[in-house]
Chains A and B, each alone.
Chain A
Amino acid sequence: MMNLIKNRDFILFSIIIFGVILVGIANPYFVKPSSLSDVLTDTSILIILALSQMIVILIRAIDLSVASNLALSGMLISLLSTVYPELPVVFFIILSCLIGTFLGVLNGVSIAILKVPFIVTTLGTLSIYRGLIYFVSDGKQVYSHEFSESFLALIHYKFLSLSFLFWVAVFVFVVMYILLNHTRFGRNLYSLGGNPDAAKYIGINENKYVILAYSISGFFAGLCGYLWVARYSVASTQIAIGFELTVISACVVGGISVMGGVGTVVGCTLGALLIGLIRNALPAVDISQFWQLAISGAIILIAIIINTKTEQRKDKTIMVE
């Protein structure tokens, strides 16, 4: 079984490389190192959010509120930074993460303790968090000149000519990889998603893990709140609207099964990279931006169909054994 999943990641990787080469033939500028590093920068937030969404999907749930959470945390720290521009940027990053975590915990509590189904909860908080942004900001935007210099400077820092954003994504990738593959927490997540009843019998506290999973998802949404606002140097009520669906598509394309318990960190990252590549490559090969949504929709569908086919085959082999 591990072979098959590894194989799948390899296929995805080959598709990405093949895609880059194809686009490169059509438009040589696209494969310049600077251009490729832009693609990576552009995809970093998606990678981070996809990896945190993966934790939630692993336990058979979905967090639809990430984009609203991101926008709310981003807006709150932006407003604060206009009032206290002298505070160090690290303070804002930590604060953003804390706000995000708090919003995530609210989701988790509603699902685990109030027993409100996850779709209902996260649909509800999707509107509530989005609505609160209007509430705290009065519908106004925070423009680039209103941020302090240090707030925006960090994001432009480069290391080995790759952006700060990309290195954050790499860091999150490493943390997630260790968390899911080498800790008890990760193993328990997989078992909860694979078979919740059995997991409960061996003593895994489901409620605890649900709340933890949603807090992690919220934490990274908060982190991305800072990253997003700093990168585009604008905080408005509209930022990242609808981005939760892009994140879920990245997970699905990356082979994370919505039936829970199946999926790898590498696959998820590759899924995000493929979506990021498509978003960036279409303009490079002169396909109108307007086709982007339809093409990503088609790719999601194809990816799901391929995923389920391999999964169903696996089920059959188990039954025969």
Chain B
Amino acid sequence: MKNIIPENPPFKLLNILYKKEFILFMVLLSIILINSNVSPYFLDLYNLIDSTFLFSEKAIIALSMTFVIIARQIDLSVASIIAVSSCVLGYTTSIGMDTYLVIIFTLLSGIMCGAFNGFIIIRFAIPSIIVTIGTMSLFRGLAYSFLEDQYYNKFPQFVVSLGSDYLFGYIPYAFLTFIILSLFFAFILHKTIIGKRIYSIGNNPESAQYTGIQVDKYTFVLFTLNGLFSAIAAIFLSGRLSSVRPNIAFGWELEIITMVVLGGVYIYGGSGSILGVVISIFILGMLSFGLGLLNVPGVGIIIFTGLLLILSIGFPSFIKYFRSKNE
């Protein structure tokens, strides 16, 4: 399935996606059903809304990561970019810059980190997994060497309210941003020529190059975009925590990739959809929220996430393996 470009894209693509998303949706439904049966506090509107705080920042990055993975790349440095951008946010605030300048510099720092990734990857033609393992240490290390054992806890009021306030008293800004961005991304990926090109790059970068797609340019832009989104997540996260240390968002890259891969995006590129990723984000979010209500410690959630990740991909091959043995 991974290397087939459908002859009649709109129709067939929808068909394939329908199945994957359907299974994911069923998983989400059963998680919600089980949770609301087990805990009376689960189906409380305020609780549910507040639970989105736990995953909105990761979810924002997961959107751009979906593009990166569909284009047959991977970015392990996102969490470290959050650390760099949060430091820039804290520093620019501490030297008394205006709020709009603070935001601009924070976003710029993310863009620069992402562009650096993209530049190394296309200029030297190195696999992105290795480059971003390197920049993961480099960026995190920059945050450490800049902040050492200090921390920032003063941020512009605007940033703090972005991170912790609600629109109309109901919808957290981070969650709202995630929803708007996911609609926008779904449109780009599924309805525009840009999305089609990203799929074809992921399916076969060489033939995409021969059909006149500027693969390098797309790769560069996608990594820059990932940097930008990490910076956006950094703004929400710093605002919410009201405290920045160099180890902020440690280990998030793996959680974000889990969100994307669980959502049915093929890790070697070329297939997947925003809808699947959005559903998988809700699956993971509702799962950890529900387990949290049941006083299951965080580690239970870690183990469960890992199992879910492997089984969701391994199960179809497992069935295939048994069938071939029986024959």
Contact = CB atoms under 8 A, between A and B. Distances in A.
Q: Do A and B bind each other?
A: yes
Interface of A: 62, 110, 113-117, 119-121, 123-128, 130-132, 134-135, 139, 245, 248-249, 252, 258-259, 288, 290-298, 300-301, 304-305, 308-309, 312
B268 A117 contact: yes
Contacts of B135: 297, 301
Contacts of B195: none
12 contacts: A110-B310, A113-B318, A116-B314, A120-B261, A125-B306, A248-B133, A293-B137, A296-B141, A301-B120, A304-B124, A304-B130, A305-B120
B29 interface: no
A247 B314 CA distance: 27
B254 A126 contact: yes
A131 to B, nearest CB: 4
Contacts, number: 144
B138 A297 contact: yes
A309 to B, nearest CB: 7
Contacts of A294: 137-138, 140-142, 144-145
Given A113-B318, A139-B299, A312-B125, 9 more contacts: A113-B317, A119-B129, A131-B303, A135-B299, A292-B141, A293-B137, A294-B137, A296-B137, A297-B139
B258 interface: yes
| A interface SS class | helix
Given A124-B307, A258-B129, A297 B134 contact: yes
Contacts of A120: 261, 267, 309-310, 313
B37 to A, nearest CB: 25
Nearest to B305: A127
A55 to B, nearest CB: 18
Nearest to A292: B141
A116 B313 contact: yes
Interface in B279-327: 297, 299-300, 302-303, 305-307, 309-310, 313-314, 317-318, 321
Contacts of A304: 124, 126, 130-131, 134
A301 B137 CA distance: 10
B136 interface: yes
A252 B139 CA distance: 18
B133 A300 contact: yes
Contacts of B120: 301, 305
B124 A305 contact: yes
A293 B138 CA distance: 6
A301 B309 CA distance: 30
A126 B253 CA distance: 13
A250 to B, nearest CB: 12
A162 B74 CA distance: 42
B206 interface: no
B150 to A, nearest CB: 10
Contacts of A298: 138, 141
A125 B126 CA distance: 26
A135 to B, nearest CB: 6
B74 A131 contact: no
B81 interface: no
Contact of A114 (B127, B246, B305, B318): B318
A288 B145 contact: yes
Contacts of A291: 141, 144-145
Contacts of A135: 299-300, 303
Nearest to A294: B141
A134 B138 contact: no
Given A128-B303, A296-B141, A121 B125 contact: no
A293 B140 contact: yes
B313 A123 contact: no
Given A119-B74, A123-B257, A295 B313 contact: no
